[in-house]
Structure 1
Amino acid sequence: MKKFSVVIAGGGSTYTPEIILMLLDNLDRLPLRKIKLYDNDEERQNKLAKACEILIKERAKEIEFLATTDPEEAYTDVDFCLAHIRVGKLPMRELDEKIPLKYGVVGQETCGPGGIAYGMRSIAGVLENIDCMEKYSPNCWMLNYSNPASIVAEATRRLRPNSRIINICDMPIGMEHSIAKIAGVPSRKHMDIRYYGLNHFGWYTSIKDKEGNEMLPKIIEHIKEYGFINGEEGMKTDKKDSWFETNLFTKNIIKTDPTTIPSSYLKYYLFSDYVVDHEDKNYTRANEVMDGREKEVFSACAEIEKNGHSKGSPLEVGIHAEFIVDLATALAFNTHERMLLIVENNGAIENFPKDAMVEIPCIVGKDGYEPLSVGKIPTFQKGLMEQQIAVEKLVVEAWIEKSYQKLWQALILSKTVPSATVAKELLDDLIEANKGYWPELN
């Protein structure tokens, strides 16, 4: 059986060890001969690299390992690039979250002004990685889950229309794990779902078990009471962090259309006043990650490096990483897996623009993906999506044209921003914070 070579772009991410563990856990499905890490921050990547090498040697010593900052070394002889880059890292994420909050606007890394700022930083980094991939391994597939996924997807549609990139997000995977628990099925793999929307902005319209029984009404009743929390047991957890609150809050979002299951991220758009009122303006999700996950992962990796083995390590396979193996396997072995991808609409949603990048189910095989037909969508969802897709298109146009005007228009149109006046003040603040990361606007 053919063995594959992968490069993880954004090798210094704290998610890298769990992605490697996921890959090692699935060698029977996706056999590997080489795993490479690539990052432009050598110091950060080195905090993880030795531990990752030890994890690989313990589980599959025949797999070659390399950590590099050289794009030629990274992209030569690779079949799959797993891209999760974060331009500006967590300090810039902190600004994405805190600057909007100063103006009483949602501060979130992928939604509203924070997502727009992050998108303006991400575009160049993703394009640079595509160009390196095409130069050194033209037959490679890039499985891109760099955020904000919708803006990145629109940029690649406009600027690299023929590249072998597939844009995907792990958020629906997390939601589907919760839905599977609520439905009482063994895993998300035991469900057939129908879903449509934009990234972090969508709705489930059908959840069937493998016998074809519709479970949606039963799940909706549960969500009306508990959100994505798994009943009374789930409510008793001690870990009531921002994710717990987000999952619980879905019980309010579902009231806006009780015939579908909404993405939990819709709270930022539909209940932005609530979000701002309940946000600690001095300690946001970025601070949570810096003080929690980042310290935990780096210290676990340092411990592995010091001991020379991973016995007793808290590092574990990330459930959010499983979609990467599913996608790579489908491309490698033509499995016709059904997956939610961010793709050009092209009529899949009948009453929505053809050139919109939408998140819908697709069948994946060796030649790429084939979107499934969604049909017509209701006026409520269509109106929300049209507003948000206009924001994303304006952001990409602003980046291409270096246009202050278009970026201001994007902020004005964002459902999270209350007025053109606030949008302008926000924009001027974000320009100052993103010097050296954004193109110079005129």
Structure 2
Amino acid sequence: MRKEGVKIVTIGGGSSYTPELVEGFIKRYAELPVRELWLTDIPEGKEKLEIVGNLARRMVKKAGVPMEIHLTLERKEALPGADFVTTQMRVGRLEARIKDERIPLSHGIIGQETNGAGGLFKGLRTIPVLLAIAEEMQQLCPDAWLINFTNPAGMVTEALLRYGKHLKVLGICNVPITTRMTIASMLGVEADRLHIDFAGLNHLVYGLRVTVDGEEVTGQVLELLADPEKQLSMRNIAPMPWEPTFLKALGVIPCPYHRYYYKTEQILAEELKQFAAGTTRAEVVKKLEDDLFALYQDEQLETKPDILAKRGGAYYSDAACSLISSLYNDKHDIHTLNIRNNGTIEGIPDESAVEVNCIVTKEGPKPIPVGALPEAVNGLVQQIKSFERVAAEAAVTGSYDKALLAMTINPLVPSDSIAKTVLDEMLAAHQEFLPQFGKHLQEMMG
């Protein structure tokens, strides 16, 4: 790291989440001296970038820390000399997310931005862009860590690890830290006394074992989670209670996203109601974003507004900023990350991405070996990993056949005929952001 402080580049800097990140860096300035924070975005995001950037400058000024905020629409201007690069983008913006949710629902299947058909298309749009960023980083800041927060983080990290030209790549998500904080609150203990052995895939991670002060409390936590009044959920997922007998038999802690696989019928019914009312999560978020940016423009605003919590990024800055600080300060503490498997979980290819606990050092995270996953959860993890691998290949090659295969083997898509119908409609709807499928789209359009 450079003696004069840390340089961080945030790609997708015009995101409504950026004030979370800025707050996290301000809070940690004594241990993580971020002297330059570069926020970069695409030309279409220029207005939001300027609004967020001005708020960031007011936040830094109020905090009295010597952090320079730079704004640019040119990644190559921002990247040289970076120590860390964070990515938090949405290719196609919220309009694309609305299509990812509404098109599958119009055919009677789940529409969600990281799971099923919607997750596939977010990955197809996003992976080529992130691979281009990784290539630029290898040229302009080869020693920098690429820390990806962009969804679908598992599939994206899979592609970066298998096809990317930059080696220092990590994926991060707020689900594990949200899970830990929620369970600590349920148990009435401080979060730093509670430990969870996480293992699985992004948005498909399980808590294999929970301890407080070293004493196992997994069974007690499963009993708590079976209580309809004590739900572990996220802003974008309906807090549907688990069947107590099922949880006890499962024997491990599911994450909120497991509802898509274990409660498919109920989730779909709820989503179809929202679809009919024009209140899918994407449409709700678009309205919330409008409200947030109206607030961000207030020149009197000098701190992150409380309403941002409704956006769904709880503990985002804690997850991202703590990881960067641990890498910078060689802390040897534990973070749950998306990282190259290398034998950490048995039965998953070494080069694939898994989400597991890691000991974070200045040389990089060291995954904590897991061994074989419990039989009850291994099958679903393997199925989603095969989906991620085929989807990543489709994104890189532009293969229609691979895209159809990925869509069909996803457990949230019930048949190959529905898969093909939805695939064709979504390819046409998103063609502006899918240049790799250009030849097939030309043939399809006649």
**TM-score with structure 2 setting the length:** 0.90
| 2:209 corresponds to 1:214 | no
Q: 1:373 aligns with which of 369, 385, 396?
A: 369
- Equivalent position SS for 1:354: coil
Counterparts of 1:22-61 in structure 2, within 5 Å, are 22-40=24-42, 41-61=45-65
Partners of 2:419 and 2:182 lie apart in 1 by 36
TM-superposition CA deviations, 1:225-267 (whole Å, max 9, x none): 137538xxxxxxxxxx983863343557953844111011011
Alignment match, 2:197: 194
User: Contact conserved, 2:41 with 2:72, CA < 8 A, in 1?
Assistant: yes
- Runs of at least 4 residues of structure 1 off by over 6 A? none
Q: Distance in 2 between matches of 1:420 and 1:252?
A: 34
* Residue in structure 2 matched with residue 299 of structure 1 by the alignment: 294
Partner of 1:127: 131
Q: Deviation string for 1:362-413 (max 9, x for gaps)? A: 1111111111111112223111111111111111111222211111111110
Secondary structure in structure 2 of the residue aligned to 1:194: strand
Stretch of structure 1 that moved more, 167-176 or 84-93? 167-176
Secondary structure of 1:267's aligned partner: helix
* Distance in 1 (alpha carbons) for counterparts of 2:406 and 2:248: 25
Q: Could you tell me which of 413, 416, 419 is aligned with 1:420?
A: 416
CA distance in 2, matches of 1:214, 1:115: 35
Matched-pair contact (CA < 8 Å) for 2:20–2:304? no
Is residue 117 of structure 1 aligned with residue 109 of structure 2? Answer: no
Identity of aligned residues (%): 29
Residue equivalent to 2:355? 359
The change in CA–CA distance for 1:83 and 1:228 in structure 2 (over 3 A counts) is farther
1:314 Cα deviation after fit: 4.2
Q: Where do residues 285-364 of structure 1 align in structure 2 (5 Å cutoff)?
A: 285-292=281-288, 294-303=289-298, 305=299, 307=300, 310=302, 314=306, 319-364=315-360
Change (3 A) 1:353 1:402: same
1:430 aligns with 2:422: no
Structure 1 residues 61, 245: closer, same or farther in 2, change over 3 A? closer
Out of 140, 144, 164, the residue aligned to residue 136 of structure 1 is 140
TM-score (norm 1): 0.91
**Which amino acid in 1 is paired with 2:256?**
S
Separation in structure 2 between the aligned mates of residue 365 and residue 386 of structure 1, nearest angstrom: 29
Instruction: Provide the C-alpha distance between the structure 2 equivalents of 1:28 and 1:315, rounded to a whole number of angstroms.
Output: 27
Q: Secondary structure of 1:226's partner?
A: coil
Q: Secondary structure at the residue paired with 2:241?
A: helix
How much has 1:25 moved relative to structure 2? 1.1
Superposition pairs of residues 168-187 of structure 1, within 5 angstroms = 168-187=172-191
Please tell me whether the aligned partners of residues 80 and 142 of structure 1 are also in contact (alpha carbons under 8 angstroms): yes
- Aligned residue in 2 for 1:9: 11
Equivalent residue pairs, number: 426
Distance 2:220 2:303 in 1: 42
SS of the residue corresponding to residue 360 of structure 1 reads: strand
Moved more, 31-40 or 41-50: 41-50
Comparing 193-202 with 59-68, which one deviates more in the overlay? 59-68
Tell me which amino acid in the other structure corresponds to 2:251.
T
Aligned to 2:383: 387
Summarize the Cα distance change of 1:227–1:155 in structure 2 as closer, same or farther, 3 Å threshold.
farther
SS of structure 2 residue aligned to 1:249: coil
The change in CA–CA distance for 1:72 and 1:46 in structure 2 (over 3 A counts) is: same
Compute the displacement of 1:352 (Å): 3.4
Q: How much has 1:207 moved relative to structure 2?
A: 1.3
How far apart are residue 287 of structure 1 and its match?
1.0
Question: Structure 1 residues 313, 166: CA separation in 2 closer, same or farther (over 3 Å shift)?
Answer: closer
- Distance (Å, rounded) in 2 between the aligned partners of 1:256 and 1:274: 20
Q: Distance in 2 between matches of 1:59 and 1:272?
A: 46
CA distance in 1, matches of 2:296, 2:243: 38
Distance 2:392 2:347 in 1: 23
- Go from structure 1 to structure 2 and tell me whether the alpha carbon gap of 1:283 and 1:255 turns closer, same or farther (over 3 Å shift): same
Unaligned runs of 5+ in 2: 441-446
3-state SS, counterpart of residue 182 of structure 2:
helix
Please, what is the CA RMSD of the aligned residues? Answer: 2.2
- Aligned equivalent of 1:100, options 100, 104, 110: 104
SS of the residue 2:431 aligns to: coil
- Over 3 Å counting, the alpha-carbon distance change for 1:82 and 1:75 in structure 2 is same
Query: Residues 295 and 410 from structure 1, CA distance in 2 versus in 1: closer, same or farther, beyond 3 angstroms?
Result: same
Determine helix, strand or coil for the equivalent of 1:243.
coil
Question: SS of 1:36's equivalent?
Answer: strand
> Using the alignment, how far apart are the partners of 2:64 and 2:238 within structure 1?
38
Quick check: 361-370 or 348-357, which moved more?
A: 348-357
Pair 1:109–1:33, CA change in 2 (3 A) = same
Contact 1:331 1:368 in 2 (8 A): yes
Distance in structure 1 (CA, Å) of the matches to 2:407 and 2:184:
36
Are 2:223 and 1:203 aligned?
no
Q: How far off is 1:131 after superposition?
A: 2.3
Q: Is the 8 A contact 1:100 1:426 kept in 2?
A: yes
Offset, 1:162: 4.5
Distance 1:107 1:249 in 2: 21
| Contact 1:85–1:146 (8 Å) recurs in 2 | yes
| Residue aligning to 2:444 | none
State the 1:2 CA deviation: 5.7
